[in-house]
Amino acid sequence: MHNQLEVERKFTVDEDFDLTSVRLSDRTRLVHDGVFQLRATYYDAADLRLIAEGITLRRRTGGPDDGWQLKLPHGPDGREEVHEPAAAGETEPPASLRGLVLAHLRGETLRPVAQITTSRVVHRLVGDERGGPVLAELVDDHVTAEVCGDEAISTAWREVEAELVEGDADLLRAVTAALERAGASRAVAGSKLERALGGRVPPRRQAPAGLGRDSDAAAVALAYLRQQVAAITAADPLVRLDAEDAVHQMRVASRRLRAALTTFRPHLARGHTDALRGELRWLAGLLGDVRDAEVLRDRLRDRFDAAPAGPGTAAARARVDAGLSRRYDHARAEMLHQLDSPRYRRLLDDLDGLLDAPPLTPRARRPAREELPGRARKAWKALRRAHQAADAAVTPGERATALHEVRKAAKRARYTGEALQPAFGKDAARFAAAMERVQEVLGEHQDSQVARETLAEMAAQAYAAGEDTFAYGFVAGLEEAAAAAARSTYRDAWRAASRQKLHRWTRS
């Protein structure tokens, strides 16, 4: 198996469209790169749930990428593309790809849903200089599609795809503008498959439009919960692939969802949600073990790079790097094991059940303006109490522990503001931003504390092994300076978060 990030855009064109005549840039040129006959069979559950989430699984023949392909949404224009070789005559998707969409399938059987044949003309967009890199690939496709079922339905059309190779987002925007000037239009469907299936694809769950202060509290709560559940399931296959930032995004969604169940506790029956909060804490912990090891390793790599070169520096960096890499590998292996467990699948099912049949309380039907500002006020009061406890701390150790509690309270207040933003707009957004600033500053303080503890532990191991420990002390000094700077910055962040006008809306 191998995977790559694919960034592309699709355009609908008329039969007389001439791609070779499109003027792209004086600094680029279009080079013909062959003609291919492609045939793809697409697989999904009977209800087309993968396609509804922008995921495609297919068996392709012809062209340079013959075999099994799974495409997953990754960012606004990107897709993570996973390839597996296929044996002759193989008609069942391999277990490795089925495992990547476990969070979406939940035991549903995959079956062929469509076959698409494409006559493709490929062009490479290269720099004007000879031997320059391939910036993008532009393909001109004549497509014939047949939907599988009791009555086969065929359609045909023409489209152009622009996919980045070594070019950047500015190049993609320039190519888009040039194609549109020449008469191409952005494709409405995200893929050939979506276009072929047309109205058969179920609509994605969307947040209700026009949420505001007069919306009922239930609408605000369920919109936010639905958003976070979708973020977890979307991140799941990317986490399994170790895609960039995927663990962080899934961890944040888990934390936001857990915080939301606290924020909306008066509006959702606790008997249904308290167990979910515990399971979300478990999931966030699994993801956090991976993410924290990765962040700490990268942080200390940078710190050791700033240390004076010496006989002990390289050995110290190698010891720390190896130790944290082992911690990361162990945490990732455990996370992947648990993502394949019945416990995780039950959590996903329970989250779907929460959205399909929300256990609403009578207060949930009251207007948001009456019910929800007080939830932000409560989160702020909890944060203020944590701040006062930190101010009263006597020893450095007590203060570090207390500031960690402030950071956690700031994070909960931030998530509350974010959850209420669709209904309360700029008021909630400014509140959340101020809380996030407090969280970030104290996050740096906490990261420094953890780094110093790790350095002390590994310096003791190095000393026992007879190694020079000067570099450990130097890096610990850098971390102490970082902690002092964070404590200083925290005062400014706290003053900004305490401004009266930031909290007026919470008293409405």
Strands 185-186, 67-73: pairing kind: unpaired
Closest CA to 154 of 142, 144, 139: 144
Predicted confidence (pLDDT) at residue 149 exceeds the cutoff of 80 = no
Provide φ and ψ at 384, rounded to 5°: -65, -40
Q: Can you give the pLDDT at residue 284? A: 97
Q: Can you give the pLDDT at residue 20? A: 87
Query: 123: pLDDT confidence band, cut at 50, 70 and 90?
Result: very high
> What type of residue sits at position 327?
R
Distance between CA atoms of residues 442 and 439, nearest Å: 5
Residue 338's alpha-carbon distances to 240, 332, 399, 451, in angstroms, are: 11, 10, 35, 27
- In this structure, the number of other CB atoms found within 10 A of the CB of residue 53 comes to 19
For residue range 55-95, list pLDDT tens digits in order.
999 999 887 778 999 999 887 667 889 999 988 778 889 99
Q: Can you give the pLDDT at residue 77? A: 66
Q: Which residue's structure tokens are 């944290």? A: 324
Provide φ and ψ at 59, rounded to 5°: -115, 115
Q: Can you give the pLDDT at residue 270? A: 87
Predicted confidence (pLDDT) at residue 500 exceeds the cutoff of 70 = yes
Q: Which residues contact 264 (CB under 8 A, 6 or more apart)?
A: 217, 221, 225, 364, 375, 419
Q: Which residue's structure tokens are 């190698």? A: 318
Predicted confidence (pLDDT) at residue 488 exceeds the cutoff of 80 = yes
pTM (two decimals): 0.84
Query: 44: pLDDT confidence band, cut at 50, 70 and 90?
Result: very high
- What 3-state class would DSSP assign to 431? helix
- Residue length, the chain? 508
- What 3-state class would DSSP assign to 26? coil
Predicted confidence (pLDDT) at residue 157 exceeds the cutoff of 70 = yes
Query: 471: pLDDT confidence band, cut at 50, 70 and 90?
Result: very high
Higher pLDDT, 391 or 151: 391
Predicted confidence (pLDDT) at residue 113 exceeds the cutoff of 70 = yes
Do residues 379 and 263 lie in contact, with contact meaning Cβ atoms separated by under 8 Å?
yes
Q: Can you give the pLDDT at residue 2? A: 58
Do residues 451 and 297 lie in contact, with contact meaning Cβ atoms separated by under 8 Å?
no
For residue range 161-195, list pLDDT tens digits in order.
999 999 888 899 999 999 999 999 999 887 888 88
Average pLDDT of span 36-52: 92
Give the pair of three-digit tokens for residue 174. 């320039």
Do residues 361 and 266 lie in contact, with contact meaning Cβ atoms separated by under 8 Å?
yes
Predicted confidence (pLDDT) at residue 132 exceeds the cutoff of 80 = no
Query: 207: pLDDT confidence band, cut at 50, 70 and 90?
Result: low
The continuous run of DSSP H or E covering 48 comes out as none
Query: 24: pLDDT confidence band, cut at 50, 70 and 90?
Result: confident
- In this structure, the number of other CB atoms found within 10 A of the CB of residue 131 comes to 6
Could you give the percent of the chain with pLDDT greater than 70? Answer: 96
Distance between CA atoms of residues 418 and 384, nearest Å: 19
Do residues 143 and 159 lie in contact, with contact meaning Cβ atoms separated by under 8 Å?
yes
